Each structure stands twice: as structure tokens, then as C-alpha cells.
Amino acid sequence: MTCQLWSLMRLNIENALADLGANINVMPYKMFEQLGLRKPKYTRMSIQLVDRTITYPRGIIEDVLVQINKFIFPIDFVVLDMDEDSEVPLILGRHFLATAKTILNVGTGKLCFV
């Protein structure tokens, strides 16, 4: 999914991942720095990764404007220290997909926003 993040600057993301298994939206710390966002809110959250390791986020950044097509959504992100994957630089979880009223055709991989 292609999207744009807005803050002090605009950042184009070509391959954001719509993850039906994720309960949170995830942004790498490097991307957070590129956007010049304010300091993230402290959180006591811990996250278990797919390899079963536990990681602790840098914090939560609220109301980042995400534009997909003509729609703009204020989205909260968990900021993680992680290598930025050029294939999947941003993860948008179930809460975002529900808020955006996304229809996902798993067979074709197509997303629609209604």
C-alpha cells in the first residue's frame, strides 16, 4: 500500500504493510527521526516479536497524519528501534484498517477504502 506521512515534512512510503495480525501500527525509529516528530510519549509496553524476543518501544507518537489516496487519517504509532526494511518500512495494524473502513481481498491482495 502506498501512503504519505505528514509532519514538518512529507514522507512517501511505497510499501506499507497492512497487517491483519498486528494490534498496533509500527514505525521504525529512523523514520520517526526523518519526520522530525515531537518526542514520543513514554510507554511501559513490551512487544514479543515473531522470533519470540521481547523488545521495548521508544514510545508512542500520536496523531501522525497518514494519507492514502485522497483520504487522510490521524494514526498513533509505536516507535521501535529496528532496522528499516525497504520492502516493508511501515506496519499498519487492524485498528487502522478498521478506522479506515478498509476492505481487503486476501485472494488478490487489493485494498479498498470506502
Burial 66-91 (b: 16+ CB within 10 A, else e): bebeeeebebebbbbeeeeeeeebbb
pLDDT digits (tens, 9 = 90+) for 50-78: 899 999 999 999 999 888 888 888 999 99
Cα 104 to Cα 26: distance, rounded to the nearest angstrom? 20
pTM over 0.85: no
**Which stretches of 28-109 are DSSP H helices?**
29-35, 94-99
The more confident residue out of 113 and 6 is 113
Contacts of 85 (CB under 8 A, 6+ apart): none
Domain ranges of the chain: 3-113
Q: Which CATH superfamily is domain 3-113 in?
A: Acid Proteases (2.40.70.10)
What does pLDDT average to over the chain?
Answer: 85
Least confident of 17-26, 38-47, 65-74, 84-93: 84-93
